[in-house]
Amino acid sequence: MTKLITSLLLTLLVSLPLFAADPVNINAASAEEIAAALNGVGISKAEKIVEYRELNGPFVHVDELVNVKGIGLRTVDKNRDAILLGDDSQAE
- pTM value is 0.73
**pLDDT band (50, 70, 90) for residue 12:** low
Q: Which long-range contacts (CB under 8 A, 24 or more apart) does 28-35 make?
A: 28/86
Contact between 65 and 51 (Cβ < 8 Å): no
Where do the domains of the chain lie, and which CATH numbers do they carry? 18-90 (1.10.150.320)
The pLDDT, as a whole number, for residue 89 is: 47
Per-residue pLDDT tens over the stretch 30-83: 999 999 999 999 999 999 999 999 999 999 999 999 999 999 999 999 999 999
Q: Where are the alpha helices (DSSP H) in the chain?
A: 2-15, 31-37, 43-56, 73-79
Residue 33, Cβ density class (10 Å: 0-12 exposed, 13-18 middle, ≥19 buried): middle
